[in-house]
A and B are shown apart, each in its own frame.
Chain A
Amino acid sequence: AQTVTQSQPEMSVQEAETVTLSCTYDTSESNYYLFWYKQPPSRQMILVIRQEAYKQQNATENRFSVNFQKAAKSFSLKISDSQLGDTAMYFCAFRYSGGGADGLTFGKGTHLIIQP
C-alpha cells in the first residue's frame, strides 16, 4: 500500500512571497499519478495541479508548479506570488494508474496561511 507524507502541518508567508509545500510518498509501483488539492474554509476540494509519474517534465499551472523527483519519491508544490486567496489546507494525493478505479491516498495536509 502507498503512503503519503506531508511534514509541514502549517506554514505562514507574506502576500506575494513564494512558498514551497513538501510531500513525499512511498510506493512499490512505477506508474501512478500525483495531485495537489486545495481545501479552503468552504471545504470544497479543488484540484491545483497533477503529475503523471512517467513524465519527467514538472507540471505547471500558472502560479503553481511542482518539483517531481521520482527517484526520491518527492512531489513538492511551489506557489509563486502568493495571494490571500491561497490560504487553505493543501493535500498531496497519490493514485495508482495500473487500471481499475482506485481512490486517492491523501497526506495529512498543510495549512497554508497567507498574511497580508
Chain B
Amino acid sequence: GAVVSQHPSWVICKSGTSVKIECRSLDFQATTMFWYRQFPKQSLMLMATSNEGSKATYEQGVEKDKFLINHASLTLSTLTVTSAHPEDSSFYICSARPLESYGYTFGSGTRLTVV
C-alpha cells in the first residue's frame, strides 16, 4: 500500500529559530501533498496544498511567510516553520494521494514544541 514517511516525529526548538519537517511518498509519486495542523484534542485543519514544481496554495489565515513549503520533487515536500514562537507548537501532519486512488495516506505526524 501507499506509504508516506514524515520526519522528524518530534522536535523541540527555541523561539526565533526555524525548523524543517519532511514528508516523503515512499512508493508512489505525489504531485500534490497536503499539510495539516492539529491542536491537542482538536481536529485536523488544512494549512496548505503543496504542488510539485510550483507555489503552494495556502488556506485562509495561514501565513505563507511563516510556513514555507517546498515541493521540489515528486516524492518530497517540506514545511519550514520560520521564526518559531510558542504558539506554533502543535502537531503537524502531511498527506498525499496516489494518482490511482481517491483516498489519502497520512504521515505519522510531527510534534513541534517551541520553547
Contact = CB atoms under 8 A, between A and B. Distances in A.
Interface of A: 33, 35, 37, 42-45, 47, 50, 52, 91, 95, 97, 101-109
Interface residues of B, number: 23
B43 A107 contact: yes
B103 interface: yes
Interface of B: 31-32, 34, 36, 38, 42-46, 49, 51, 91, 93, 95, 97, 102-106, 108-109
A91 B31 CA distance: 25
A43 B107 CA distance: 10
Contacts of A47: 103-105
Given A97-B102, A101-B32, A101-B97, A44 B108 contact: yes
Given A33-B102, A97-B102, A45 B93 contact: yes
A95 B42 contact: no
Given A44-B106, A109-B43, 8 more contacts: A43-B93, A43-B108, A45-B95, A50-B102, A95-B102, A97-B102, A104-B44, A104-B95
Contacts of A50: 102-103
